[in-house]
Homo-oligomer: A and B are copies of this chain.
Amino acid sequence: MSLTCAEILTSALAILDEFGLADLSMRRIATALGVQPGALYWHFDNKQSLLAALAGEVLGTLPEPGDLRGGGIAIWAGELRDRLLAHRDGAELVSAVLAMRLLDPSPVDILANALMRAGLPPTDAGAGSALVVHFVLGHSLDRQGYAQSAQLGAAGPPGPDPDEAFAYAVALLEVGLRTAFGDQGSLRQ
């Protein structure tokens, strides 16, 4: 039985969880599968597209955000954060793939479309969505970066509870978005 893309991704995810993104090399994946490095290039064009597929695996199919005028944003943002934090360096991986524009559909698109369907004009929906997703990514990146530097010894004081800070920040975003919904145009000069 020959190698499949799914097997490669499973192996890659295991290496990611155990050793982190910096140690996730094509050669290491190949070794874990008992195969030559070149074999991977039959199934993926290059490392970038393998990482893109892996990011898709980490994110899964995100839910459609609902109740956007109520607490729907907080729930959706929390779900996104949980998925990013579920794997070592998940936020870094998704950020990198997102920056390369290889994630389809991107979380930004999903939320932006939902906001548009809820009545926000396209530019506002795009900006609001970017705001939410970039914060969640930055927040998760920060947490996982902290975990990494804490493991390395040189970590500062623990600081405030990150879950609390997350909830507060999302609440602040919801206030802004409610204004956008309630009084369209009031945020533009």
Residues of chain A touching chain B, judged by Cβ–Cβ distance below 8 Å, are 92, 95, 98-101, 122-124, 126-128, 130-131, 133-135, 137-139, 141-142, 144-146, 148-149, 155-156, 159-160, 164-169, 171-173, 175-177, 179-180, 187-189
A142 touches B173 (CB 8 A): no
Chain B residues contacting A149 (CB-CB under 8 Å) are: 100-101
The docked-state distance in angstroms from the alpha carbon of A56 to that of B155 is 20
Which residue of the partner chain, among B137, B144, B173, B176, contacts A138 with CB atoms under 8 Å? B137
**How many copies make up the complex?**
2
7 smallest beta-carbon distances between A and B, as pairs? A134-B138, A99-B145, A172-B176, A127-B168, A176-B176, A127-B165, A127-B169
Known A-B contacts: A126-B160, A128-B172. Give 9 more (CB < 8 A): A99-B142, A101-B146, A101-B155, A123-B164, A130-B142, A135-B135, A135-B138, A137-B138, A173-B176
